[in-house]
Structure 1
Amino acid sequence: MAKRNTLFIRIVEGKNLPIKDITGSSDPYCIVRIDNEAIIRTATIWKTLSPFWGEEYNVHVPPSFHNVSLYVMDEDNLSRDDVIGKVSISKEALSVKPQGLDGWMNLTEIDPDEEVQGEIHLQISLLGDSDVPRKLRCRVLEARDLAKKDRNGASDPFVRVRYNGKTHESAVVKKSCYPRWNESFEFELDDTLADSLLSVEVWDWDLVSRNDFLGKVLFNINRLQSAQQEEGWFRLGPDKPKHSQYEGTLGSLRLQLRLRDETVLPSSHYQPLTELLCQSVETHLNGNWPDLIMLIDETTTSENRQEVATNLVKLFLGQGLIKEFLDVLFKLELEKNTEPNTLFRSNSLASKSMESFLKVAGMQYLHRLLGPIINRIFEEKKYVELDPNKVELKEAGCTGLHRLQTEADVIQQSSSLLQSYLSELMAAILQSSSYCPLLLCQAFQQLYQRVQARFPDPEYRKVKFIAVTSFLCLRFISPAIMSPKLFHLREKHADARTSRTLLLLAKAVQTIGNMDTLVCCSKEPWMVPLQPAIQQGIAQLKDFITRLVSCHDSEDLGLQTRMSLQCGSMEKEGFLLLHKTKDKCILMTSPFKKYYVTLSKDMLSYSRTQHSKKNSFISLPKIRAVEKVEEKCFGSANVMQIISSDDSGQQETLYLDCKSVNELNQWLSALRKACSHNTNTMSCYHPGIYKADRWSCCHQKEKTDPGCDKTRHGVTLQEWYDPLDPDLEAQLIYRHLSSVQHTMSDKYYELIKQEADDANADQDPKKVDSITRLFTILQDLHDAHTALEEEERLKNKNVFLELQT
């Protein structure tokens, strides 16, 4: 049994943002923070007050998280980036809307007294006789993960304790976000005060300016009377929010957020549901009568269809039945559709499932196919425009020293460039038949054959090709060309000039995928110069599809696919700056050196170049923690540490400096997932470094001190290359089926009755038994979840009673 919280975040767009640059515009990007820890940075959209990002993420978060905040920033090359505003959503607000939040949300200004974070360790006691306590004692032990208020990347915190009109202050701990005080303060207890409050505030001391607020905790003393003592870590809260004078004037963000709080049962609980789904696929291929897959197809809605499709694709991939599952959906779609021109163009379950399948099983293929041409376009940054209404001669430049280019010159040059890009891309597509994954080949083969059998007439001879290209080109290759960042082909969005080139190339690929140049050229006549290249591309694409659907599981192709899967087991690789320390302090000002780092299924290895022998490595089972490092340690906010133990049990630390917050969190996530089954993990760690005979974070002098902050093993980003989790997918499918159980029942009996009337026969008892079995399985899973929740409730109640006594 495991608890899994997944937060889906889609940052769609912004509007009405304020002007931050002298050009009369802004360069906005977003930072996403979970409890004030930055985990995502979107791309910068240059020179706009209405940016479109369209970026989406799935983040695995611990059950204890409190809120998610999105900060909109304006990027500046010469000075620090400006803060435009933020949107903050609490966990409670997300929990009460299981369907998720979707809409425009106003940005609010940043109030320093609300920008608090961290926890404080306190012990609150009532002293005196057990019946009549006379004094209140507050023992301030330590704090962790406080906000950084000073330019040195730390704070100078002290504690102010208030009760009954009296105030005590602790000593100031200089340059630390992990201070330790271990001081006690006593107050005379006033029994006449009803609901009297003890206030514990944390402040950052400043010599010149006013002190900065770091957070506070409030205790009701009357409620403490029965317990006599309370001790633990308490989350620091903000001060009272102030009324914003900028309310509604900072613009807004269009967001989609959804929190999934899943309790995943042991595998044995999901086995009956998985078996029934697999049986449904096999039975449908043999019998063609209303079954579970057909019912899921009939009862999914546009709001949940993509999620259901992704869950089913991953489940059947894990069961080795993905080809059969997709074939059932192809068959269902073809039975419903009599118009070949609209085949697989709607957002049906078949279309969404095939789309998810391509992303899960074909991303590595897509990267190999498109990587070179996308990189070439980004590096060349050529001005390309075919539409005479959009040609800007000043952007195009000169043909020589004295003559400006004419509009005809620009269009001619653009046509030549686009034909060059298109020729390179089509050549790459033709060559990719040799390394296209076997599963993709077989799925396209099934689709091609099903469509050919459904529309055998000569006038429909192109339909079987268009069915394949509707997925391969229109839903996979073309969207990746238009938005390479969203398919992980580039780290940043393209600038305006490169984006236009990518759009025109994607249009050409779409036209080739539609296999009809006349329609495109009639709608957009300025595409006519590309017509010869497009016609050649159509012939090449037909040749490619013919090769693709002629594949068989030959020995060569099987070996090729196995090699591809072996490459796919590599989790992550790339150049990073590394520094390794063992029994020594960090003395050098710049200790990092560039290495090529590779994370495979059993080790993390690194060498000076990409192709040299990996002579240094860390065995993944030896890793005890993977955590961030404080910015003040190395002057960079994107440094992480890998804490491991050698064969003798001695602790070693490897520091990695990443280029951006995204790269940092991708490496953190990949390593945490790779080490998720490690048993010797640390519960706390030092976010600082050991330098000058003490830890920079908490100032402790003992090098073997266990640590001043808790580790965060559970925070990871969901990526397309993540390993399959059959139990989680089965749980998500169970949850969906439970939500549509009544609709599914009504639809099932409607289909059964319709089939019986058509055949003038009685209902087949096997069919009725199938739906009865499904509902029994759903009830059993519901009972298992209920029993587990009751067990958790009793456990928590017993823990509370123990604390009371």
Structure 2
Amino acid sequence: MAKRSTLFIRIVEGKNLPIKDITGSSDPYCIVRIDNEAIIRTATIWKTLSPFWGEEYNVHVPPSFHTVSLHVMDEDSLSRDDVIGKVSIRKEALTAKPQGLDCWMNLTEIDPDEEVQGEIHLQISLLGDGKVPRRLRCRVLEARDLAKKDRNGASDPFVRVRYNGKSQESVVVKKSCYPRWNESFEFELDDPLADSLLTVEVWDWDLVSKNDFLGKVLFSINRLQLAQQEEGWFHLGPDEPKHSQDEGTLGSLRLQLRLRDETVLPSSHYKPLTELLSQSVGTHLNGNWPDLIMLIDETTTSENRQEVANNLVKLFLGQGLIKEFLDMLFKLELEKTTEPNTLFRSNSLASKSMESFLKVAGMQYLHRLLGPTINRIFEDKKYVELDPNKVELKEAGCAGLHRVQTEADVIQQSSALLQSYLSELMAALLQSALYCPLLLCQAFQQLYRQVQARFPEPEYRKVKFIAVTSFLCLRFISPAIMSPKLFHLREKHADARTSRTLLLLAKAVQTVGNLDTLVCCSKEPWMVPLQPAIQQGISQLKDFITRLYIPFICVCPLDLDLQTRMSLRCGSMEKEGFLFLHKTKDKCIPMTSPMAAYDKPAACLTLPYHSHAALGSFISLPKIRAVEKVEEKCFGSANVMQIISSEDSGQQETLYLDCKSVNELNQWLSALRKACSHNANTMSCYHPGIYKAERWSCCHQKEKTDPGCDKTRHGVTLQEWYDPLDPDLEAQLIYRHLSSVQSPMRYLAVVWNGGAGQRRPVFLTRFVFSLRFGLPGEKKADVLTSLFRILQDLRDAHAAVEAKERLKYRNVFLELQT
């Protein structure tokens, strides 16, 4: 059994932000924090007070997290970025809205006394003669992950203990966010029966200015009397919030957030449901109706269809049945389609599943295909416009010449540029048949064949091509061209000029995907200059579709297993960065080639050096013991991570990787932690600093082999970065969907028990028809009977887990009372 918490975050847009620049505008971006740990940085939107981001993230979070906060900043190139405001959402608010939040939220001022983080290790006990306590003892041991309040990237923390109007203070530990005190403080209990509070505060000592607040913990004396002693790590909380005069004047953000807490049972509990789903696909292969998948199709709504499609795609990928699953959905879609021109144009389960499949199995292929063209457009920064109503001659003027370009000159040059971009892209698409992933090839080929069999008439000869291009071009390539940031092709959104170029190129690709230039040119006549390149692109696109299978058979041995063949087709994960090594005395070694590649079949993290080859070329993934962040003060960068691994000799090696941004940092942490999730001998604690000047910079311990002063973190990872398949989680999510439509399915039982004359829901008509006429008589009732039994077994298993949890908490409470 495991607890899985996933947080969906969509940062939509902002409005009415304050002016921070002398130009009368701002350059806003957002930083997302989970309990004050920065995990996401959005793109900067330049020169606007109403930015639009539209960025989506799925984040794995530990079930024990407290707060999600979004800090809006104004980027400055010459000075420190300005703070605009923040939005904070408590976990309780997200839990109270299981359907999710979708609203505008006002930005509030960032109060330093509320920006606290970290934990403190305390031992609190009541001492006295007999049963009546006379003294209160508070032992302050250590703290970890404190906020950094000083310019040196650390703090000078001390503890202030308050009780009954009296206070005592610890010594100051200089330059540390992981201090150790090991001091005890005692107070006389004036009235042992009174319910008073013990307050433990942590402060950052400053010589000149006012001390900075780092957090506090409160304890009830009455509660302590029940337990006599309380020891552990306690989360530091903020001070009392202050009412700001700026509230409501800092603008607002539109956010969409949804927290999902799932209790995932052991695999054996989900095996019957997975087998039933697999049998439904197998039934289709034998010529019968896919009963259970059809039921899921009929009971999804526009709100949850995409999520259900994602779950099914990942489940069948894990079962090795994704090709059969998609083939079945194509057949269902074709059987209810009478007009070929509307094929796969709706947001059906088949369309959503294919979209999800393309993103899961084809993202690396997309990057290799579009990367060069997208990068060229961003680097060229050319003014491109075909619409005469939008041509701006002042933007197209030639400095240093006596003549300003005319409208015809602008359109002619724009047409030449767009034709060049489109020709380059379509040529790359034709060549990509050599490295298109095997599963994508198979999916497109079976879609092509099924549509050809469904509409064999000569007048519909283009429909089989359009069926493929409607997914490849209209739902995959074109959206990526229009928003390369959202498909991880670029780190930042395009400016207005580049966005227009991308939009025009995406329109041209959509026209190529429709295999018809007349419709587009009739609606937008200014697209006519692109017609020669579009016609050539249509020919190349058709050639690409018919050649998908051939390259793989030629270049890849057929005796390789599917996963290895997939990896050969997909390539590897590549990122650029800088490498630090202890043995080089913490100097930076810049890399001119791609810094690292995660190659799953080889099970190693490859480090191809431009020089220094003698330092080693790879780290075996099973030998990685921890992947963690490094304190900013160590290298003067907030985006440094460390990879701790063990050599065959038992010696421990540490590599430091400097990433370009917080997103780059968390993408690395996410990918490597998931790749090493099943490693043995992982570390439970580590040093967030470096060993320098005969001591650790974080906790000042002098022993180099000290196990560590902070616990390793594996809870927060980004879901979309090489997320491994988790069939148990996907089965749990499908079970939850089926449970939510339990009432309509119960109605089917009435139908089987003689209630067929009753009026049934329209969305179940096709499913009931399939049960009556599509399956043999002895199997009709088995479909629902098996499903109801499986769902009931899963409900019982979840109820048993919940009862066990309640019993555990009850026993803990009784132990405290006694």
* TM-score, normalized by the shorter chain, greater than 0.5: yes
Residue deviations 1:240-263 (CA, integer Å, cap 9, x gap) = 111122222222222221222222
Kindly tell me: are residues 773 and 436 of structure 1, through their superposed partners in 2, closer, same or farther at Cα, counting changes over 3 Å? Answer: same
Residue deviations 1:300-344 (CA, integer Å, cap 9, x gap) = 111111111011011111222112211221122222232222221
Map 1:196-215 → 2, pairs under 5 A:
196-215=196-215
Residue deviations 1:574-606 (CA, integer Å, cap 9, x gap) = 6655555799999999999999xxxxxxxxxxx
Kindly tell me: are residues 175 and 613 of structure 1, through their superposed partners in 2, closer, same or farther at Cα, counting changes over 3 Å? Answer: closer
SS of equivalent to 2:509:
helix
**What is the rounded CA distance, in whole Å, between the counterparts of 2:482 and 2:614 in structure 1?**
37
**What is the rounded CA distance, in whole Å, between the counterparts of 2:407 and 2:117 in structure 1?**
57
Shift of 1:448: 2.1
SS of equivalent to 2:150:
coil
| Unaligned segments of structure 2, at least 5 residues | 549-558, 599-610, 752-778
Kindly tell me: are residues 169 and 296 of structure 1, through their superposed partners in 2, closer, same or farther at Cα, counting changes over 3 Å? Answer: same
Q: Following superposition, which runs of at least 4 residues in structure 1 exceed 6 angstroms of deviation? A: 556-561, 571-574, 581-595, 610-614
The answer on whether the counterparts of 1:579 and 1:656 sit within 8 Å (CA) in structure 2 is no
The answer on whether the counterparts of 2:290 and 2:328 sit within 8 Å (CA) in structure 1 is no
The answer on whether the counterparts of 2:670 and 2:721 sit within 8 Å (CA) in structure 1 is no
**What is the rounded CA distance, in whole Å, between the counterparts of 2:27 and 2:707 in structure 1?**
43
State which drifts further: 521-530 or 467-476.
Answer: 521-530
The answer on whether the counterparts of 2:333 and 2:350 sit within 8 Å (CA) in structure 1 is yes
SS of equivalent to 1:275:
helix
Kindly tell me: are residues 340 and 217 of structure 1, through their superposed partners in 2, closer, same or farther at Cα, counting changes over 3 Å? Answer: same
The answer on whether the counterparts of 1:581 and 1:652 sit within 8 Å (CA) in structure 2 is no
Kindly tell me: are residues 712 and 290 of structure 1, through their superposed partners in 2, closer, same or farther at Cα, counting changes over 3 Å? Answer: closer
**What is the rounded CA distance, in whole Å, between the counterparts of 1:780 and 1:426 in structure 2?**
53
The answer on whether the counterparts of 2:575 and 2:594 sit within 8 Å (CA) in structure 1 is no
The answer on whether the counterparts of 2:116 and 2:236 sit within 8 Å (CA) in structure 1 is yes
Kindly tell me: are residues 541 and 623 of structure 1, through their superposed partners in 2, closer, same or farther at Cα, counting changes over 3 Å? Answer: closer
**What is the rounded CA distance, in whole Å, between the counterparts of 1:510 and 1:331 in structure 2?**
25
**What is the rounded CA distance, in whole Å, between the counterparts of 2:168 and 2:282 in structure 1?**
74
SS of equivalent to 2:485:
helix
**What is the rounded CA distance, in whole Å, between the counterparts of 1:693 and 1:587 in structure 2?**
27
Shift of 1:192: 7.0
State which drifts further: 573-582 or 287-296.
Answer: 573-582
State which drifts further: 538-547 or 145-154.
Answer: 538-547
Shift of 1:415: 0.5
Kindly tell me: are residues 787 and 360 of structure 1, through their superposed partners in 2, closer, same or farther at Cα, counting changes over 3 Å? Answer: same
State which drifts further: 640-649 or 322-331.
Answer: 640-649
The answer on whether the counterparts of 2:226 and 2:816 sit within 8 Å (CA) in structure 1 is no
**What is the rounded CA distance, in whole Å, between the counterparts of 2:566 and 2:343 in structure 1?**
34
Kindly tell me: are residues 49 and 611 of structure 1, through their superposed partners in 2, closer, same or farther at Cα, counting changes over 3 Å? Answer: farther
State which drifts further: 9-18 or 499-508.
Answer: 9-18
SS of equivalent to 2:83:
strand
Kindly tell me: are residues 719 and 574 of structure 1, through their superposed partners in 2, closer, same or farther at Cα, counting changes over 3 Å? Answer: farther
Shift of 1:456: 3.0
Kindly tell me: are residues 290 and 278 of structure 1, through their superposed partners in 2, closer, same or farther at Cα, counting changes over 3 Å? Answer: closer
SS of equivalent to 2:142:
strand
> Which of 770, 789, 809 is residue 776 of structure 1 equivalent to?
789
Shift of 1:800: 4.8
State which drifts further: 430-439 or 659-668.
Answer: 430-439
Residue deviations 1:110-160 (CA, integer Å, cap 9, x gap) = 011111111111111111113111111111111111111111111111111
The answer on whether the counterparts of 1:437 and 1:561 sit within 8 Å (CA) in structure 2 is no
Kindly tell me: are residues 193 and 22 of structure 1, through their superposed partners in 2, closer, same or farther at Cα, counting changes over 3 Å? Answer: farther
Residue deviations 1:284-303 (CA, integer Å, cap 9, x gap) = 34445471111111111111
Counterpart residue number, 1:592: 595
The answer on whether the counterparts of 2:579 and 2:656 sit within 8 Å (CA) in structure 1 is no
The answer on whether the counterparts of 1:141 and 1:182 sit within 8 Å (CA) in structure 2 is yes
SS of equivalent to 1:77:
coil
The answer on whether the counterparts of 1:291 and 1:767 sit within 8 Å (CA) in structure 2 is no
User: Number of matched residues?
Assistant: 769
Kindly tell me: are residues 677 and 563 of structure 1, through their superposed partners in 2, closer, same or farther at Cα, counting changes over 3 Å? Answer: closer
The answer on whether the counterparts of 2:625 and 2:646 sit within 8 Å (CA) in structure 1 is yes
Kindly tell me: are residues 798 and 749 of structure 1, through their superposed partners in 2, closer, same or farther at Cα, counting changes over 3 Å? Answer: closer
**What is the rounded CA distance, in whole Å, between the counterparts of 1:535 and 1:263 in structure 2?**
54
**What is the rounded CA distance, in whole Å, between the counterparts of 1:58 and 1:591 in structure 2?**
27
Kindly tell me: are residues 592 and 204 of structure 1, through their superposed partners in 2, closer, same or farther at Cα, counting changes over 3 Å? Answer: farther
Shift of 1:451: 2.2
The answer on whether the counterparts of 2:194 and 2:222 sit within 8 Å (CA) in structure 1 is yes
Shift of 1:566: 6.8
Counterpart residue number, 2:317: 317
Residue deviations 1:11-69 (CA, integer Å, cap 9, x gap) = 12222222211112111111111111111111111112222222111211112211111
**What is the rounded CA distance, in whole Å, between the counterparts of 1:580 and 1:37 in structure 2?**
30
State which drifts further: 624-633 or 329-338.
Answer: 329-338
SS of equivalent to 2:511:
helix
The answer on whether the counterparts of 1:576 and 1:658 sit within 8 Å (CA) in structure 2 is no
Shift of 1:639: 0.9
Shift of 1:788: 2.2
Shift of 1:719: 2.4
Shift of 1:74: 1.0
Kindly tell me: are residues 260 and 789 of structure 1, through their superposed partners in 2, closer, same or farther at Cα, counting changes over 3 Å? Answer: same
**What is the rounded CA distance, in whole Å, between the counterparts of 1:611 and 1:423 in structure 2?**
41
Shift of 1:501: 1.0
**What is the rounded CA distance, in whole Å, between the counterparts of 1:74 and 1:20 in structure 2?**
7
SS of equivalent to 2:134:
strand
Shift of 1:92: 1.5
The answer on whether the counterparts of 1:576 and 1:594 sit within 8 Å (CA) in structure 2 is no
Counterpart residue number, 1:112: 112
State which drifts further: 706-715 or 501-510.
Answer: 706-715
State which drifts further: 713-722 or 637-646.
Answer: 713-722
Kindly tell me: are residues 166 and 557 of structure 1, through their superposed partners in 2, closer, same or farther at Cα, counting changes over 3 Å? Answer: closer
> What TM-score, normalized to structure 2?
0.89
Residue deviations 1:330-365 (CA, integer Å, cap 9, x gap) = 122222232222221111111100000111111122
Counterpart residue number, 1:802: 815
**What is the rounded CA distance, in whole Å, between the counterparts of 2:102 and 2:204 in structure 1?**
38
Q: Does 2:693 match 1:692?
A: yes
Kindly tell me: are residues 565 and 777 of structure 1, through their superposed partners in 2, closer, same or farther at Cα, counting changes over 3 Å? Answer: farther
**What is the rounded CA distance, in whole Å, between the counterparts of 1:558 and 1:189 in structure 2?**
72
Shift of 1:422: 0.7
Shift of 1:570: 5.4
**What is the rounded CA distance, in whole Å, between the counterparts of 1:448 and 1:750 in structure 2?**
38
Kindly tell me: are residues 578 and 400 of structure 1, through their superposed partners in 2, closer, same or farther at Cα, counting changes over 3 Å? Answer: farther
Shift of 1:743: 2.4
Shift of 1:686: 1.3
**What is the rounded CA distance, in whole Å, between the counterparts of 1:280 and 1:247 in structure 2?**
56
The alignment's C-alpha RMSD in Å is 3.3
| Unaligned segments of structure 1, at least 5 residues | 549-555, 596-609, 753-765
Kindly tell me: are residues 561 and 521 of structure 1, through their superposed partners in 2, closer, same or farther at Cα, counting changes over 3 Å? Answer: farther
Residue deviations 1:476-505 (CA, integer Å, cap 9, x gap) = 010111111211222222222222111110
Kindly tell me: are residues 632 and 593 of structure 1, through their superposed partners in 2, closer, same or farther at Cα, counting changes over 3 Å? Answer: farther
SS of equivalent to 1:475:
helix
SS of equivalent to 2:49:
coil
Percent identity between the two aligned chains? 90
The answer on whether the counterparts of 2:157 and 2:174 sit within 8 Å (CA) in structure 1 is yes
SS of equivalent to 2:377:
helix
Residue deviations 1:393-442 (CA, integer Å, cap 9, x gap) = 33224186332222221111000000011111111112222322222222
State which drifts further: 722-731 or 274-283.
Answer: 722-731
State which drifts further: 196-205 or 584-593.
Answer: 584-593
**What is the rounded CA distance, in whole Å, between the counterparts of 1:244 and 1:71 in structure 2?**
17
Shift of 1:676: 0.9
Kindly tell me: are residues 201 and 564 of structure 1, through their superposed partners in 2, closer, same or farther at Cα, counting changes over 3 Å? Answer: closer
**What is the rounded CA distance, in whole Å, between the counterparts of 1:20 and 1:186 in structure 2?**
50
**What is the rounded CA distance, in whole Å, between the counterparts of 1:74 and 1:121 in structure 2?**
37
Kindly tell me: are residues 613 and 587 of structure 1, through their superposed partners in 2, closer, same or farther at Cα, counting changes over 3 Å? Answer: closer
The answer on whether the counterparts of 2:18 and 2:250 sit within 8 Å (CA) in structure 1 is yes
The answer on whether the counterparts of 2:158 and 2:171 sit within 8 Å (CA) in structure 1 is yes
The answer on whether the counterparts of 2:674 and 2:724 sit within 8 Å (CA) in structure 1 is no
SS of equivalent to 2:316:
helix
**What is the rounded CA distance, in whole Å, between the counterparts of 1:69 and 1:539 in structure 2?**
50
